[in-house]
C-alpha cells in the first residue's frame, strides 16, 4: 500500500487503485465516499469532544481553577459523559414553533461545518476536496451557516432567539467580507486559490514571513474576523448569555443543542486551520530557503503533526481571546468591521498588490 506517515499521496492513490481493481468503478467510488464520510464523522466527533475538554481546561487555567479532572485521566472522559447526557436528553419542541425550519436549522449549520472541513488539507494527500478554487469555495460555504442560525432564531418563536438570530445575521455577513478579503490578500501573494497549491507555495518560507507587513496585517484581520465568524467571545453577541439568555439556541435541547455546540467548536478549529494553512504554511514544516540543514531537521517532524501543532496553537489564541475580553456591543461590532477592518483590508490588498508586483517580498 505504501503507507507513509510523511506523505499520504501514494497511500490514498494505491487505495483508490485497489478499490478500482476489486469493484466496478461506480461501487468503488461509492465505497470511497462512505469511508471518507465515516472518517470525517469520527474525526469531527473526536475533535469536538477534545476541543470542548481543551476549552474547559484552558479556561480553568485562565480563571485560576482546575477544570474537569475527575472523570478519566485529566478529566478526558468528562466531555464524553456530558455528550452522552445530551444524547439521551429529551428533545423539547416548544409550542407554535415553525416545526420544519426549527428541525432543519441545526442540520444546516452542521452540514456547512462538514463541507468547510472537507477543504482543509491536513497533510500531503490528506484532503477531502482539493478544488482549484478552494479559497473561494471555503469562504462561500462557511458563510452559508448563517442561514441555519437565522432560521433557528426565526423559527424558535422566542423573542430572545429572534434578536440573537438577527444579530448573528448582521455580524456574520459583515465579517464574511473581512475573512474573504484577507484571504484574497494572501491569494494575490500565493498566485493560486487551490489549498494544496497554497501550501506548496510555502515550501521556502511561510507566507506570513514572505509577505511581511501586508501578510501580518491580513493575519491579524483574519483572526479577528474569524473569531467573529464563529460567534465566539468577545464577539459572542448572538448567544450573549447575560443579555439574551442563550440567543438563537435558547429553545434547543438535547442533541440539537449539541449540534450547535459542536459546530461552534469545529468552526473554531476550521478558522484556526485555515489561518494555519494560508499564513503559517499548513502542514509545511518550518522552512527557510537556503538553510538546507535546518530544513532537513524540520522535515523529520511529520507534516500532520506540524498542521495540528499550528492549528491548536491558534485555537489556544482564540480561547485566550474569549476568556480575556468582555463582549462588544452590537453597534460596536459593526463599527469595527465597516469603519476599521474593511478600509484596512482594502488598503492592505492594494499594498499586497504593490508588494507582489514590485517583488518586494522575501
Partner 1 sequence: MSEIKEIFVNSDKLKTDDYQINMGPQHPSTHGVLRLLIKLEGEIVLDVEPHIGYVHSGIEKMCESLAYNQIGHLTDRMDYLSAMMNNEAVSLCVENALQIEVPDRVKYIRTIMDELMRISSHQLWWSAYGMDMGATTCFFYGLRDRQHILNIFEDTFGARLTLNYNTPGGLMFDIKPDFQKKVKDFVKYFRKKLPEYDQLLTGNIIFQERTKGIGYLSLEDTIYYGVTGPSGRAAGFSCDVRKHHPYSAYPFVKFNEILDTAGDSFARYYCRILEMHESLNIIEQLIDNIPEGDYAVKMKGVVKLPEGQYYQRVETSKGDFGVFIESDGKKTPYRVKFRSPGFSNMFALNKMCKGLKIADLVAIMGALDLVMPDIDR
Question: What is the binding site for partner 1 (CB under 8 A)?
Answer: 59, 62-65, 159-160, 163, 167, 233-234, 236-237, 240-245, 323-332
Nearer to partner 1, 214 or 226 (CB): 226
Pull the grid cell for residue 6: 510523511
Taking the complex as a whole, the smallest distance from the CB of residue 59 to partner 1 amounts, in Å, to 8
Question: Contact 195/136 with Cβ under 8 angstroms?
Answer: no
Name residue 123's beta-bridge partners: 126
Three-point CA angle 267, 5, 186, nearest 5° = 45
Nearer to partner 1, 152 or 237 (CB): 237
Nearer to partner 1, 235 or 260 (CB): 235
Taking the complex as a whole, the smallest distance from the CB of residue 153 to partner 1 amounts, in Å, to 14
Nearer to partner 1, 242 or 358 (CB): 242
Nearer to partner 1, 99 or 329 (CB): 329
Taking the complex as a whole, the smallest distance from the CB of residue 168 to partner 1 amounts, in Å, to 13
Nearer to partner 1, 141 or 170 (CB): 170
Taking the complex as a whole, the smallest distance from the CB of residue 63 to partner 1 amounts, in Å, to 4
What is the distance between the alpha carbons of residues 348 and 351, in angstroms, rounded to a whole number?
Answer: 5
What is the distance between the alpha carbons of residues 229 and 302, in angstroms, rounded to a whole number?
Answer: 30
What is the distance between the alpha carbons of residues 208 and 45, in angstroms, rounded to a whole number?
Answer: 31
Taking the complex as a whole, the smallest distance from the CB of residue 227 to partner 1 amounts, in Å, to 13
Taking the complex as a whole, the smallest distance from the CB of residue 237 to partner 1 amounts, in Å, to 8
Nearer to partner 1, 59 or 309 (CB): 59
Taking the complex as a whole, the smallest distance from the CB of residue 75 to partner 1 amounts, in Å, to 18
Taking the complex as a whole, the smallest distance from the CB of residue 279 to partner 1 amounts, in Å, to 25
Nearer to partner 1, 42 or 92 (CB): 92
What is the distance between the alpha carbons of residues 78 and 182, in angstroms, rounded to a whole number?
Answer: 38
Place of cell 487555567: 61
CA separation, residue 212 to residues 110, 147, 215, 286 (Å) = 36, 36, 5, 16
User: Closest by alpha carbon to 235, among 323, 329, 301?
Assistant: 329
Question: Contact 362/205 with Cβ under 8 angstroms?
Answer: yes
**Does a cis peptide bond (omega within 30 degrees of 0) precede residue 234?**
yes
Question: Contact 222/187 with Cβ under 8 angstroms?
Answer: no
Where are the alpha helices (H) located in the chain, listed in sequence order? Answer: 9-22, 25-62, 78-88, 99-118, 134-142, 145-155, 159-190, 195-200, 207-210, 212-229, 241-244, 254-279, 292-299, 303-324, 330-335, 342-357
Taking the complex as a whole, the smallest distance from the CB of residue 160 to partner 1 amounts, in Å, to 7
Nearer to partner 1, 16 or 329 (CB): 329
Pull the grid cell for residue 281: 504554511
Amino acid at each position: 500500500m505504501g503507507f507513509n506517515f510523511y506523505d499520504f499521496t501514494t497511500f490514498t492513490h494505491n487505495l483508490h487503485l485497489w478499490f478500482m481493481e476489486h469493484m466496478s468503478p461506480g461501487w468503488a467510488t461509492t465505497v470511497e465516499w462512505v469511508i471518507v464520510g465515516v472518517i470525517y464523522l469520527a474525526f469531527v466527533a473526536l475533535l469536538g469532544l477534545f476541543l470542548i475538554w481543551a476549552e474547559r481546561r484552558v479556561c480553568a487555567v485562565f480563571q485560576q481553577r482546575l477544570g474537569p479532572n475527575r472523570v478519566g485521566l485529566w478529566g478526558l472522559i468528562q466531555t464524553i459523559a456530558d455528550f452522552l447526557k445530551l444524547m439521551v436528553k429529551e428533545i423539547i419542541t416548544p409550542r407554535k414553533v415553525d416545526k420544519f425550519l426549527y428541525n432543519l436549522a441545526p442540520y444546516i449549520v452542521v452540514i456547512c461545518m462538514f463541507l468547510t472541513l472537507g477543504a482543509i488539507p491536513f497533510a500531503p494527500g490528506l484532503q477531502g476536496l482539493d478544488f482549484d478554487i478552494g479559497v473561494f469555495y471555503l469562504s462561500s460555504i462557511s458563510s452559508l451557516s448563517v442561514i441555519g442560525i437565522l432560521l433557528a432564531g426565526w423559527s424558535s418563536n422566542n423573542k430572545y432567539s429572534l434578536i440573537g438570530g438577527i444579530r448573528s445575521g448582521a455580524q456574520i455577513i459583515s465579517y464574511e467580507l473581512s475573512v474573504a478579503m484577507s484571504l484574497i490578500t494572501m491569494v494575490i501573494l500565493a498566485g493560486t486559490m487551490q489549498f494544496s497549491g497554497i501550501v506548496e507555495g510555502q515550501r521556502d518560507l511561510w507566507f506570513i514571513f514572505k509577505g511581511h507587513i501586508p501578510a501580518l496585517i491580513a493575519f491579524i484581520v483574519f483572526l479577528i474576523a474569524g473569531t467573529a465568524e464563529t460567534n465566539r467571545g468577545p464577539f459572542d453577541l448572538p448567544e450573549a448569555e447575560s443579555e439574551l439568555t442563550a440567543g438563537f439556541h435558547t429553545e434547543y435541547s438535547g442533541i440539537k443543542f449539541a449540534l450547535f455546540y459542536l459546530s461552534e467548536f469545529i468552526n473554531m478549529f476550521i478558522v484556526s486551520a485555515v489561518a494555519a494553512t494560508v499564513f503559517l504554511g499548513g502542514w509545511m514544516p518550518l522552512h527557510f530557503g537556503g538553510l538546507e540543514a535546518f530544513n532537513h531537521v524540520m522535515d523529520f517532524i511529520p507534516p500532520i503533526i506540524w498542521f495540528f501543532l499550528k492549528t491548536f496553537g491558534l485555537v489556544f489564541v482564540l480561547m485566550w481571546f474569549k476568556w480575556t475580553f468582555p463582549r462588544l456591543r452590537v453597534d460596536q461590532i459593526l463599527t469595527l468591521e465597516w469603519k476599521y477592518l474593511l478600509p484596512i483590508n482594502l488598503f492592505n490588498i492594494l499594498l499586497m498588490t504593490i508588494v507582489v508586483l514590485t517583488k518586494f517580498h522575501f
